[in-house]
């Protein structure tokens, strides 16, 4: 089954692109960040204990990915801490691979879809934007949801998360060698989707 892998840093717009590509092709869609957020949320008070995170990941169930609290920056921060633990990543691998095998095709977005989860995906996108633009997008999104937030705090948090995600030893945030780089700092969501679709369409039979 064809897989579209969409990777990139926080608030680059990868989720929006992934959702729209899935709707366009009639494919299923998985936001893999939610898996790490769910595990991070379960152990949010025990983030220094890797065994707790590993046990939560081994007990992962898709029902754990529901709930508005998972969208919070606290959950994002917890996710980025526990996602550096190799056993946590290993425990979440089978679910992602089996999701990716679904008919008639799947779109997965995350950090390591094109490099680790689905290295044979016929379409790989690596979505980026400057960290200032990304912080602005996340800020606007939180305001729209009625969550008061401070731009400077979001910016500092994203810089921290980018560093942790890029520097970890296991499955760091990195573009696959054959990924199409989509720099969206100067694009709105419609323009970014149009560019992603122009790359993907000829590669999806
Ligand atoms: O939406 P946003 O990009 O802010 O975050 P997310 O995609 O929900 O991911 C939250 C955290 O989970 C990231 O900072 C990563 O540390 C981790 N993650 C990962 O390690 N691998 C993935 N495939 C997806 C997320
Ligand atoms: O999944 P990820 O964290 O990479 O980002 P997202 O949740 O898809 O997008 C973050 C926010 O940026 C959303 O409110 C989008 O509407 C907005 N946005 C975008 O996705 N793409 C652009 N080119 C510009 C803004």
The ipTM assigned to this model is 0.96
- Please state the atom number of ligand 2 nearest to the C-alpha of residue 187: 23
Q: Which domains does the chain have, with CATH numbers?
A: 3-200 (3.40.50.300)
Of 81, 106, 98, the residue nearest 31 (C-alpha): 106
pLDDT of residue 145: 85
CA atoms within 13 A on the CB side of 111: 25
Compute the average pLDDT of residues 36-55: 97
Q: Whose CA is nearest to atom 2 of ligand 2?
A: 11
Arithmetic mean of pLDDT over the chain = 95
112 lines ligand 1 (CB under 6 A): yes
* Rg (the chain; Cα; Å): 16
The Cα-based distances of 44 to 10, 41, 77, 80, 148 in angstroms read 19, 5, 9, 11, 21
Strand partners, 7: 110, 126
Q: How far apart are CA 35 and CA 38, in angstroms?
A: 5
State the pLDDT confidence band at 15, using cuts at 50, 70 and 90: very high
The answer to whether the beta carbons of residues 145 and 89 sit under 8 Å apart is no
Instruction: Indicate whether 105 pLDDT > 80.
Output: yes
Q: Whose CA is nearest to atom 2 of ligand 1?
A: 10
| Per-residue pLDDT tens digits for 63-93 | 999 998 998 888 988 999 999 999 999 999 9
Calculate how far, in angstroms, residue 161's C-alpha sits from the geometric centre of ligand 1. 9
The answer to whether 12 is a known ligand-binding residue is yes
pLDDT exceeding 70 applies to what percent of the chain?
100
pLDDT of residue 97: 98
184 lines ligand 1 (CB under 6 A): no
CB atoms within 10 A of CB 85: 18
């Amino acid at each position: 089954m064809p897989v579209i892998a969409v990777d990139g840093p926080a608030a680059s717009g990868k989720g929006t692109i992934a959702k729209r590509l899935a709707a366009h092709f009639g494919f299923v869609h998985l936001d893999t960040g939610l898996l790490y957020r769910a595990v991070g949320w379960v152990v949010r008070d025990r983030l220094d204990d890797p065994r707790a995170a590993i046990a939560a990941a081994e007990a992962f169930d898709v029902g754990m990915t529901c709930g508005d609290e998972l969208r919070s920056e606290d959950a994002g921060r917890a996710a980025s801490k526990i996602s550096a633990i190799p056993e946590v990543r290993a425990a979440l691998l089978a679910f992602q691979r089996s999701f990716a095998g679904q008919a008639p095709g799947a779109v997965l977005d995350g950090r390591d879809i094109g490099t680790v989860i689905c290295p044979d995906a016929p379409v790989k996108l690596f979505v980026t934007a400057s960290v200032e633009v990304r912080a602005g997008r996340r800020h606007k999104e939180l305001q729209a949801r009625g969550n008061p937030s401070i731009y400077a705090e979001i910016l500092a948090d994203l810089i921290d998360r980018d560093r942790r995600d890029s520097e970890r030893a296991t499955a760091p945030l990195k573009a696959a060698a054959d990924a199409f780089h989509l720099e969206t700092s100067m694009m709105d969501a419609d323009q970014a989707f149009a560019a992603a679709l122009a790359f993907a369409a000829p590669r999806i039979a």
